[in-house]
Structure 1
Amino acid sequence: MKELLTSISKCDICKAKLELGPRPIVSADINSKIVIIGQAPGSIVHKSGIPWDDKSGENLRAWMGIDNDIFYNPEIIALIPMGFCYPGRGKSGDLPPTKECAPLWHHKLLDTMNNVELILLIGTYAQKYYLGDQLKRTLTDTVKHYKKYLPDHFVLPHPSPRNNIWQAKNAWFKKEVIPQLQDSVRSIIAS
């Protein structure tokens, strides 16, 4: 795993596309029990070099019911984005994750992990890549049917503060999905 993470840290395959240059951000261990697959680091995370070190990360940790010590312990949680580097800014927010990372690195990372019990698929990019034709028509429908993807995958919207409107319109998410997520996470951590 150490060699693999070193190789990823040196990756510059999409250098020409990256507004701020390559800075792959990933955290994993052969013993990781939960894998979080999100979109791509934002500009704040690009600067700090710490995955999910922003408001989205705070929201995600709250949804999961865990603190920073557990979240940032790679023996418990692996943090693997669809695109490992900050993709740059677009008209209405960050650009989509680059498409090179997942096919190049994800299977190598996942094949190295022996104890994965759950993969959280956060947002449409991760869900499309991993669920393919099992994906529902909209993100809302996919998340509503989260039980369909268990026990291997837990689907979630992106925890960005930009999605507060979505959460307000979909009160069932906090009532039904979050408690199930916290139960699953608690159970895996305890095992």
Structure 2
Amino acid sequence: MNSFESLVLDAQSCTVCKEFLPLGPRPVFSIHTESKILVIGQAPGTKVHATGIPWNDASGNELRRWLDVSRDQFYDPRNFGIMPMGFCYPGRGVGGDLPPRPECAPLWHHKMINQMAEVKLTLLIGQHALKYYLGNRKRKNLTETVRDFESYMPEFIPLAHPSPRNLMWRRRNPWFEELVVPVLRERVHELLAR
């Protein structure tokens, strides 16, 4: 077994925060040493937890629409590595799902990214990914960070979360579909064509 396979098995069997997970640990991610685009979201919801398939919900449908890719393209890990900020369903809070567990990204992300040397673009989806990866480079809020997306390219494209819960954000910010989505699609298609 090589180091990549060993890392994947270790992450799949992780139980570091099991005492905080109401449905128990079930790490959900999909990576390959040849992944071209890395998708860093928040954490699985209950549907993704149940199926073990990342972005297998309404949010995933919307994300694939933004990217203009098929399910087959999206779920080919040589195209898209999928690595949320928290690999397991974190539970429910007052306003929806709880934030990703804080132990996960520091424990696994660096190790996994080091094994994915072909990644040319990382999509940072939602405030948790923006904060972790952009640090003091992010603007004062998610909206301003996403609006200034070109300043983070070619390494990153910051995105709002495609959840149905964020529909109001998208309605209030029509520039997202007009300006960000076309550039996102162009860059994704360019990388997939290589």
CA distance in 2, matches of 1:26, 1:180: 26
Which residue does the alignment assign to 1:28? 31
Q: Give the equivalent residue in structure 1 for 2:54.
A: 51
- 2:175 maps to 172
1:13 maps to 2:16: yes
**Residues 33-112 of structure 1 aligned to structure 2 (within 5 Å):** 33-112=36-115
Report how many residues are paired: 191
Deviation at 1:3, TM superposition (A): 1.3
- 2:191 is equivalent to residue 188 of structure 1: yes
Q: Which letter does structure 2 place at the counterpart of 1:188?
A: L
Superposed structure 1 runs of 4+ greater than 4 Å apart: none
* CA distance, structure 2, for counterparts of residue 173 and residue 145 of structure 1: 11
Deviation at 1:96, TM superposition (A): 0.2
Q: Which amino acid aligns with 2:62?
A: N
1:131 correspondence with 2:134: yes
Shift in Å, 1:148:
0.7
Shift of residue 8 of structure 1? 0.4
Unpaired stretches in structure 2, ≥5 consecutive residues: none
Q: CA RMSD in A?
A: 0.5
Distance 2:185 2:15 in 1: 36
Q: In structure 2, how many angstroms separate the alpha carbons of the residues matched to 1:174 and 1:100? A: 33
Q: Which runs of 5+ in 1 are unaligned?
A: none
Is 1:121 the counterpart of 2:124? The answer is yes
Q: CA deviation at 1:2?
A: 1.5
Q: How does 1:140-151 map to 2 (within 5 A)?
A: 140-151=143-154
Q: State the alpha-carbon separation in 2 of the partners of residues 185 and 61 from structure 1.
A: 11
